[in-house]
Amino acid sequence: MRVLFYCQHVLGIGHFFRSMEIARALEPHEVLFVEGGEPLHGFTPPSHVRWAFLPPVMMDPDFHNMEIRGQDEERLWRERREILLSLYHSFGPDWIVTELFPFGRRIFRHELTPLLDVARSHGPGVRVACSLRDILVEKADVDKYEKRVLNILNTRYDLLLVHADPRVLDLGETFSRIDEIRIPLIYTGLVCRPAPERRRTDGRRVIVASTGGGRVGVDLLRAVIEGLRRLDRGDLELRVFLGPFMEEADRGALASLASIDPRVFLRPFASDFPQELAEASLSISMAGYNTCMDILASRVPALVYPFPQNREQAMRADRLERLGLLRVLASLSPSDLAHAMEALLEHPDVPGSHTLDLDGAARTARLLAGSPLSP
């Protein structure tokens, strides 16, 4: 079986890592992983995954506009479309999987609609699936948005895979016309990276602070460093992970702040982040899908501060807090952060034997491969 997996991240890296984890689970099948965001340098895909790139398009840090980077916009879309179609024809997939589209990434219809039309013209031999996370962001005109999604989904797709545990979050909570979806909808469970065994740290209490890709969340990292300075404890070590897409000015500002406290260490982005959580006494982060999945898999005590631009992270964090699996930070006040860190270090809420379905990657792979699978 051959799978063409289209993934376009525009701000962080959660979409990329979730999609790549599914691609990893598809072994021994062949995967052509087509990425349209800024390439993640230093990452090595599994041997059965071929990694191909479209000219990158990213969102600005304010989450308002796409960055075309001085290129002619019409030329850029034409080039991306031509590359994508060429990859399709040379690879000859059995499945096309688009991450998020048509529920999001509407601007990329310039290249995806031609791809889907070509696949449909080849008859039933090529099937198309949508790979969708648990929560959709809110839209200004919900009626228009949902009608547009349904029109594409019901005419160009064969399968909708929702990477969620419906006992926690159901797609119907953020998509009201779920009953009008005419193709099979299957909840795969949550897509998690494997978590290593917990490790001891020789009496040190390691705090890990991270913000994923790094284009947003600098305020959180700054507040964590300033909060640590209010804790008069010599057994603490704060490891601050800087995302690969963080602005240089923000890196410099955090370096200056970190230099004041010898307990603070700035670290480069770690693609094997679950390894870092394995020896952490506390994780402090935003509440993106992948970060929350790493928290669930590693069972590390966690404080999260949801990205405020839309409802996605706040909804996820709220549900997981209700289950006792993490705590949500109410503010970025350094004094409040210091209090929250101290409280969780002294009385850790360790996520114990929860029953959430974390087998989403393997189940997705089995479904695409045609193995029997119950919804």
pLDDT digits (tens, 9 = 90+) for 213-235: 767 889 999 999 999 999 999 99
Do the Cβ atoms of 102 and 152 come closer than 8 Å?
yes
With a cut of 90, say whether residue 318 has pLDDT above it.
Answer: yes
CB-side neighbour CA atoms (13 Å) of 163: 26
Distance CA 368, CA 53 (A): 23
Distances (CA, A) of 265 to 174, 243, 260, 352: 39, 14, 11, 29
How many C-beta atoms lie closer than 10 Å to residue 26's C-beta? Answer: 26
Distances (CA, A) of 53 to 4, 37, 47, 215: 12, 8, 17, 21
Residue in 260, 234, 241 with CA at minimum distance from that of residue 334: 260
Distance CA 306, CA 325 (A): 15
Distance CA 207, CA 203 (A): 13
pLDDT band at 375 (very low <50, low <70, confident <90, very high): very low
With a cut of 80, say whether residue 147 has pLDDT above it.
Answer: yes
Three-state secondary structure call for residue 318: helix
With a cut of 50, say whether residue 372 has pLDDT above it.
Answer: no
Range with the largest mean pLDDT of 27-31, 41-45, 69-73, 166-170: 27-31
Average pLDDT over the chain reads 90
Token pair, residue 265, equals 């260490």
Q: Which helix (H) or strand (E) holds 241?
A: strand 236-242
In this prediction, residue 84 carries a pLDDT of 97
DSSP characters over 163-229: -S-TTT--GGGT-TTGGG--S-EEE---B----PPP---TT-EEEEE--TTSSS-HHHHHHHHHHHT
Residue in 231, 233, 253, 234 with CA at minimum distance from that of residue 242: 253
356, β-bridge pairs: none
CB-side neighbour CA atoms (13 Å) of 327: 21
For residues 345-359, average pLDDT: 78
Q: Would you say how long the chain is, in residues?
A: 375
Residue in 37, 23, 4, 34 with CA at minimum distance from that of residue 212: 37
Q: Which helix (H) or strand (E) holds 287?
A: none
Cβ neighbours of residue 237 under 8 Å, at least 6 residues apart? 201, 204, 205, 206, 207, 263, 265
All structural domains of the chain: 2-191+358-369 (3.40.50.2000), 205-346 (3.40.50.2000)
| One-letter amino acid of 96 | I
For residues 364-373, average pLDDT: 80
For residues 19-26, average pLDDT: 96
| One-letter amino acid of 89 | H
How many C-beta atoms lie closer than 10 Å to residue 150's C-beta? Answer: 17
In this prediction, residue 252 carries a pLDDT of 94
Q: Is the peptide bond before 114 cis (omega within 30 degrees of 0)?
A: no
Lowest mean pLDDT among 26-40, 175-189, 325-339, 352-366: 352-366
